Amino acid sequence: MKSDTVFKQAFNQTLDLLSAAGTGAALPSENALSADLGVSRTTVRKVLFQLAKRGYIAGQGRNRVVASAVPDGAHFPHTETIATAQQVEVHFMEWMLRGQAQPGTQINELELARVFGVGTTGIREFLNRFRRFGLIVKRPNAGWVFMGFTREFAMELFEIREMFELRSARALAQLPDNAAIWHRLRTIEQQHRDLLNEIDARYQDFSDLDNRFHRLINSAAPNRFIDDFYDIITLIFHYHYQWNKRDERARNAVAIHEHLEYIQALLSRDLERVQAACSLHLASARATMLAAFDAA
C-alpha cells in the first residue's frame, strides 16, 4: 500500500498557514492551495476535510474560514512525512559511511528491508537508482556488492569534476555582458563576503554555499549529463561534510578565499586567470578530501 506521506506533509504545511492567517481569516481556494503546496487538489481536499473534522476550520465550499487556533500537538510527526524512498536513502548513506561497511561487503536486500523497516521493493528500487553513484555494483541473480568509498573512488570523481568545471568556467567567462549570470555571480560573491565576516559563527553554512556556487558555474552552459554528474558530487560532499569535521572552520575559510579569487577571475573575463583560479581551487578541494582518507 502507498504511504500517505504526501497528505501528512500537506496537512502540516496547511496547519502553519492557518496559524499565520489567524482565526476568522478566509481560506484560499482549493486551486490556490494546490499550487501553493505542490500537491494535487484531491490531496488538498483530503486535508481540508480532516481540518474541518478536527474543528480547525469551519464553513463549506468557498466560504471556509479558520475556526480556531491550532494546538501544539496537531502536526503529524516529522518522520511520518518522509516517503519510504527517501527514508531508504538516508538510512543507506548512514549505513555506508558510518557503519562498518568495508569494500567488498555484500548487500542483502532482505536484511536491509528488515533493518530499515520497508519492503524489499523499496530497497531494490533504491539500489537501482543508487547504482549510478558508482559505489555499488550488481551481480545478476546474486545481489549487490559495496565497492567502498575509497581514495580511488574520490580520485576518479575529482578527475571528472575538474574536466567538467574547467569547461563550464571557460564557457561562463565567454558569455556576453548582458547575460543574467553576471548578476547572479555578484550576488553569490556578496554571500561569500557575508559568510566570511561571520565565519566563526556560521562556518557550517559553507557546504550549502559551495554547492550553489558550483551549480551556478555549471548552469552557464547546461548539459544534462553534467547536471546529472553534479548530483553525485552533491551527495558525496553532503555526507562527507557531515562526516569529516576536522579543521572544518579553517578549511572553509580557505575555500571561501579561493572562491572569491575564482569569482574575480570570472568577472575579469581573462581566460588564463579563470583556468588558474579554477584549477587551484579544485586541486585544493581534492587535497582536502584525500587528506581525510589518509587520516582514517
DSSP single-letter state for residue 26:
B
Contact 85, 125 (CB under 8 A): yes
CB atoms near residue 64 (< 10 Å): 19
In angstroms, the CA 94 to CA 110 distance is 18
Contact 58, 23 (CB under 8 A): no
Q: Is 163 in the site for a second copy (CB under 8 A)?
A: yes
Radius of gyration of the chain (CA): 24
Q: CA separation (Å) from 258 to 244, 263, 265?
A: 20, 9, 11
Q: Which does 68 bind (CB under 5 to 8 A by kind): a second copy, DNA, none?
A: none
Q: CA separation (Å) from 233 to 166, 210, 277?
A: 15, 11, 20
Q: Is 79 in the site for DNA (CB under 7 A)?
A: no
**Looking at beta carbons only, is 108 or 187 nearer to DNA?**
108
Q: Which does 193 bind (CB under 5 to 8 A by kind): DNA, a second copy, none?
A: none
Among 45, 78, 129, 184, binds a second copy (CB under 8 A): 129
Among 36, 80, 89, 109, binds DNA (CB under 7 A): 109
Among 45, 78, 132, 246, binds a second copy (CB under 8 A): 132
Smallest CA-to-CA distance from 12 within 87, 70, 86 is with 70
Q: Is 5 in the site for DNA (CB under 7 A)?
A: yes
Residue type at position 136? I
Looking at residues 122 to 141 of the shown chain, list those that interact with DNA (rule: CB under 7 A): 122, 124, 138-141
Query: Which helix (H) or strand (E) segment is 137 a member of?
Result: strand 136-138
**Residue given cell 559495496 in the structure block:** 146
Q: Is 121 in the site for a second copy (CB under 8 A)?
A: yes
Q: Is 91 in the site for DNA (CB under 7 A)?
A: no
Q: Is 39 in the site for DNA (CB under 7 A)?
A: yes
Residues 194, 200, 206: CA angle, nearest 5 degrees = 55
Q: Is 224 in the site for a second copy (CB under 8 A)?
A: yes
Among 13, 17, 41, 237, binds DNA (CB under 7 A): 41
**Looking at beta carbons only, is 150 or 197 nearer to a second copy?**
150
Contacting positions for DNA (CB under 7 A)? 1-8, 29-32, 39-43, 45-46, 60-62, 64, 83-85, 107-111, 118-122, 124, 138-144
Contacting positions for a second copy (CB under 8 A)? 6, 83, 121, 124-125, 128-129, 131-132, 134, 140-141, 153, 156-157, 159-160, 163-164, 167, 223-226, 228-229, 232
